[in-house]
Amino acid sequence: MIGMWETSAHLQSFPRAIVHVDGDAFFASCETALHPELRGRVVVTGRERGIVSSLSYVAKARGIRRGMILSEVKKICPDAVILTSDYETYSLFSKRMFSIMRRFTSQVEEYGIDEGFADITGMRGPLHMSYEDIARAMKKAVDEELGFTVSVGLAPTKSLAKIASKWQKPNGFTSVPGRAIRGYLSTLDVSNIWGVGPNTAKYMYSLGITTAHDFISKPFEYIAANFSKPHQEMWYELNGESVWPINTEEKTSYASISKTKTFTPPSGNVEYILAQLIRNLENACIKARRHGLVARKIVVYLRTQQFGDAAIEAKITRASNFPHDLIPHVRTLFKNVFKHGVQYRATGIVLADLQSDSSVQSSLFEPIIKMEKMQRVYAAVDSLDEQYGKHTVHLGGSQATFTQTQYAGDRTRETERQKIKLLGETERQHLYIPRMMITV
C-alpha cells in the first residue's frame, strides 16, 4: 500500500488542483487596510466585548492572545491600539476576497469569513498558466486589492491545501504536489491535521500515531478498523485522493438558528432585557426568512453577570419566521426565567426544529388574509433592510437597544464604518426607523 502511494503516476503532480486562501489576522488586517498608519503597530479588535477578538501579528509577537482581557493587553502593551470590531466592514472585505477568487474559477467555496477553497483543476489551458502560477496570481490579486496579505496553499485535496496554507504563515505560498506529500507530512503533528480535535489526537497518540505521516502510512484496513468514516475520508485526502468536494452553494440548511447579544454594564431592568431578547428574535427571524425556514420551537436564554446560564423553551403551534407570531412566546418564556434583582450581561434566542416555510399550512381557524398581509409586511421590511442596512426598520419592542448604551465607557466608541459613509451612501442609511407592530 505504501509503495503504491509513493509511485502512483497520478500523484506526481496535481490530479486535482485545490487552492486554500486564508486571510492573515483577517479582522486586524482589515483595520490596517483602512488605516495604513496602523501598520507595524499592536492592533487589537474586541473593545465592545472587553476581550481580544482579533490581533495583528505584531501583537502576537508581543505576547497577546485571543480571548485575553483588554486590561491585560494594556499591561503588556501600553501602546496597543484597541478598536471596536467592525463586522460589517469585515464582511465587505470578505465578499471582495471571494469575488477576486472567482475571477480564476467559478468553483469557490466560502468556508469562513476569512478563508475559502477554489478548485482550479482544468484551468491551465483557459488561463494559460500552470497551477502554481494561477494560485500565485490569485494571491497577488487578493493581496494588492484588499491591501493586506493572505496565505495560500495549493495541493491535490482540500485537507492538504488547508495544511499548505498554514505552512508559511503569514504571507505564505506553499505548493504540495502529489510527489511531495509525504515530505510535508513527515513532521506534522496529528493535532495539526484539519478535523482532528484534542480527543482524536489523544486517541491517535495511544495507537502510536504521532505524525500525519504515521497516519497515512497505515493500511486502509487498519484505518477502517480503528477510525470512523470522517477519519477514513481524511486518510484518503491526506494520501492525495480527493473525496471532499468544493461546496459552491450558499448554506441554506440549518438545524437551528441562534442569535445572542452581550452588553455592559449588566442590567436588571425588565424592559431593557426584554428589548434585547426581541432584538435577538428579529435577527434570528431575518436569517430564517432569508433561507426560507420556519421554526417549530423557540428557546430563550439569559446569562447573569456571574456567568450563570438559564434557558427555557417552548413549542410553537404554527411554525413561523415572523417576530409578530413569536413575541408572545418570548414574553411568556421570559417571565418564567427572569429573576428580579439579578444582573444580566447577555441574552439569546434559538429558533429550533426548522423546516421549509413552503411546508407550513394555516389552520382552519386562522385568517388567511391576515397571514398574507403579514407576509407582505415582512417582505417590505426585508426589502428596506436589504437596501439600507439591517434594522433600518425594527420592532418598537427592541427600541431600547437602539436608544440606550450597549457598552459602557470607552467601549461605546463607534467603528469607522459607523462614522463615515461609503461612496453613494446617504445619511438616511445610517438612521434607524422604529416600527411598532400593529394588527394588520
Active-site residue (options: 31, 109, 110, 115)? 115
* Main-chain phi, psi angles of 349, to 5 degrees: -130, 135
Question: Counting every residue, how long is the chain?
Answer: 440
The SS3 assignment for 396 reads: helix
How buried is residue 342: exposed, middle or buried, by Cβ count under 10 Å (0-12/13-18/19+)?
middle
C-alpha radius of gyration, the chain, whole number: 25
Please give the single-letter amino acid code of residue 351: L
What's the grid cell of residue 129?
498558466
The owner of cell 515530505 is 183
User: For residues 284 and 397, what is the distance between their CA atoms, to the nearest angstrom?
Assistant: 15
SS3 193: coil
- Give me the DSSP letters along 397-425: GGTHHHHS-SS-GGGGPPPHHHHS--TT-
Assigned C-alpha cell, 178: 502529489
What is the Cα–Cα distance from 58 to 24, expressed in whole angstroms? Answer: 12
Among 219, 206, 120, 102, CA closest to 161: 120
Q: How far apart are the first and last CA of the chain?
A: 70
* 363 phi/psi in degrees, rounded to 5: -80, 165
The three-state secondary structure class of 133 is helix
CA dist 397 → 91, 370, 375, 436 (Å): 28, 21, 20, 7
- Cα angle, residue 55 at apex, residues 52 and 59 outer, rounded to 5°: 110
> Using CA atoms, how far apart are residues 391 and 7, in angstroms rounded to an integer?
59
Q: Is 145 part of the annotated catalytic residue set?
A: no
| Rounded distance between C-alpha atoms, residue 46 and residue 187, angstroms | 35
What pairs with residue 297 in β-bridges? 315, 352
Alpha helices in 296-399 (DSSP H): 323-337, 368-388
Residues with a catalytic annotation lie at 115
